[in-house]
């Protein structure tokens, strides 16, 4: 039985520290599950909210959208979603889709006009208890052998890069370059490696490159700091039997990272957009046309069937 009050870390004002306060434990209405948070991890998007750099955030807000939780109670409409009290769950960021509109049924529930974003436009996981939309909940078997702390980032970083790789339609005989191998990029190298692709990691930090090399998920690494795009192109081709790259996943939010990515892409290759630069990307559409490459955005607002 959940208590009446709980501690929550609230972003009251952008640019100020979070405030820990006692607030009421929410009541699960509709499809919502009341969950007890086991582990909540901090994402780059949370920092955009707290710094005032998110154009979506509604403040004050309990932040956090990556967590592993245990179900405490079900809302009146949650029973048909195969989740029960005691289940350990994770869930994607997006929730409250209506599941009935044209967007929900035809394009995907992540485009529903009624959708909210946990920890950004609705209360998140930096609290002892939270509400989770049962339609997004993924039940994690206790026998998975993975700890809650290991699992938690999978529900944002993991989904994000998996989505990019899935949309890139990676074939086992292809070469994938990951540009930017920090948190997201490191996960991307592991997933691409698991898909059977040859994986090249590009970054401007030796430490991150050495990390993915030591982890065994990169077949080659290149520090692009100070290199011109044509030099990166030549070095990457030399690392890949003279060929350019089939799909490039850019997890860095910098314009030069995208310029690097375009320079190493083969004709008819796929450029996967994950990192979001703050400034616009100058894009030569003549090059897009002549190289016939495809610019594909990630969309990490996947429905639970995609995550399972
Ligand atoms: Zn996130
Ligand atoms: Zn809808």
pLDDT in tens, 192-220: 999 999 999 999 999 999 999 999 999 99
What is the DSSP pairing of strand 88-90 with strand 198-203?
unpaired
Task: Tell me the fold of 5-155.
Answer: Quinone Oxidoreductase; Chain A, domain 1 (3.90.180)
Q: What is the pTM of this model?
A: 0.83
- For residue 98, the ligand closest to its alpha carbon is 2
Query: For 128-164, how does the pLDDT look when each residue is reduced to its tens digit (9 = 90+)?
Result: 999 999 999 999 988 778 899 999 999 998 998 998 8
Q: How far is the CA of 305 from the centre of ligand 2 (A)?
A: 17
pLDDT band at 183 (very low <50, low <70, confident <90, very high): confident
Determine the pLDDT at residue 304: 53
Q: How far is the CA of 129 from the centre of ligand 1 (A)?
A: 19
Determine the pLDDT at residue 143: 77
Mean pLDDT of the chain: 92
Determine the pLDDT at residue 54: 86
Which ranges in the chain are annotated with CATH 3.90.180.10? 5-155
Q: How far is the CA of 277 from the centre of ligand 2 (A)?
A: 29
Query: For 265-288, how does the pLDDT look when each residue is reduced to its tens digit (9 = 90+)?
Result: 999 999 999 998 888 888 889 988
Q: How far is the CA of 68 from the centre of ligand 1 (A)?
A: 14
Q: How far is the CA of 106 from the centre of ligand 1 (A)?
A: 25
Percentage of the chain exceeding pLDDT 70: 97
- For residue 54, the ligand closest to its alpha carbon is 1
Q: How far is the CA of 67 from the centre of ligand 1 (A)?
A: 10
Which CATH number does 158-297 carry?
3.40.50.720
Q: How far is the CA of 111 from the centre of ligand 2 (A)?
A: 7
Which ranges in the chain are annotated with CATH 3.40.50.720? 158-297
């Amino acid at each position: 039985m959940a208590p009446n009050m709980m501690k929550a870390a609230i972003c009251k004002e952008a640019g100020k520290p979070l405030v820990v306060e006692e607030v009421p434990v929410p009541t699960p209405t509709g499809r919502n599950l009341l969950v007890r948070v086991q582990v909540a991890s901090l994402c780059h998007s949370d920092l955009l909210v707290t710094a005032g750099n998110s154009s979506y955030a509604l403040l004050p807000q309990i932040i956090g959208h990556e967590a592993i939780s245990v179900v405490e109670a079900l809302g009146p409409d949650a029973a048909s979603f195969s989740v029960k009290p005691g289940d350990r769950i994770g869930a994607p960021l997006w929730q409250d889709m209506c599941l009935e509109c044209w967007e929900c049924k035809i394009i995907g529930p992540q485009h529903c006009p009624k959708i909210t974003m946990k920890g950004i436009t609705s209360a998140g996981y930096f609290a002892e208890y939270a509400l989770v939309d049962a339609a997004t909940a993924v039940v994690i078997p206790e026998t998975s052998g993975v700890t809650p702390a290991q699992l938690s980032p999978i529900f944002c970083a993991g989904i994000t890069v998996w989505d990019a790789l899935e949309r890139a339609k990676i074939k086992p005989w292809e070469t994938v370059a990951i540009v930017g191998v920090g948190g997201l990029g490191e996960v991307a190298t592991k997933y691409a490696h698991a898909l059977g692709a040859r994986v090249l990691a590009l970054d401007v930090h030796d430490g991150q490159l050495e990390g993915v090399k030591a982890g065994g998920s990169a077949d080659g690494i290149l520090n692009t700091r100070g290199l011109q795009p044509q030099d990166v192109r030549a070095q990457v081709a030399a690392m890949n039997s003279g060929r350019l790259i089939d799909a490039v996943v850019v997890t860095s939010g910098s314009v030069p990272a995208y310029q690097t990515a375009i320079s190493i892409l083969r004709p008819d290759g796929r450029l996967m957009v994950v990192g979001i630069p703050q400034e616009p990307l100058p894009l030569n559409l003549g090059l897009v046309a002549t190289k016939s490459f495809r610019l594909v955005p990630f969309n990490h607002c996947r429905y639970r069937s995609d995550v399972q």
